[in-house]
Amino acid sequence: MKEIGIETEYITLGQLLKMTDTISSGGMAKWFLSEHEVFVNGEAEDRRGRKLRPNDTVTIPEVGEFRIAVAEGMSFDVD
């Protein structure tokens, strides 16, 4: 599982798809999510605007598993 460090409170699923080079542009997110299965914390997700916060996990079959983490030097309150 690869960790994705974020410097903000959250990122969107569309942003994660671009950060992981799953898609080449943000405009492809809606199409990708309509054609491929993506799981957030074990549940199917198709909303590109889904907010991902530290400790969330994202599984993209045939691409990989990712865990959202707080970037080094940053701190946020995480429940």
Q: What is the CATH number of the domain that holds 44?
A: 3.10.290.10
Within-domain flag for 7? yes
For residue 79, pLDDT beyond 80: no
Within-domain flag for 36? yes
Alpha-carbon Rg for the chain, nearest whole angstrom, is: 12
**pLDDT tens per residue, range 19-61:** 999 999 989 999 999 999 999 999 999 999 999 999 999 999 9
Within-domain flag for 23? yes
Grouping H, G, I as helix, E, B as strand and the rest as coil, residue 32 is helix
Within-domain flag for 77? no
Within-domain flag for 76? no
Within-domain flag for 75? no
Within-domain flag for 12? yes
- Cα(14)–Cα(76) distance, integer angstroms: 21
Residue 4: closest CA among 48, 55, 69: 69
Within-domain flag for 78? no
- Cα(44)–Cα(17) distance, integer angstroms: 15
Residue 16 belongs to domain spanning: 2-70
In the chain, the amino acid numbered 69 is: A
Domain count, the chain: 1
Going by pLDDT thresholds of 50, 70 and 90, the confidence category of residue 72 is: confident
What pTM was estimated for this model as a whole? Answer: 0.86
Q: Which residues of 63-74 are buried (b: 16+ CB within 10 A; e: fewer)?
A: eeebebbbeeee
Can you give the pLDDT at residue 75?
56
**pLDDT tens per residue, range 8-18:** 999 999 999 99
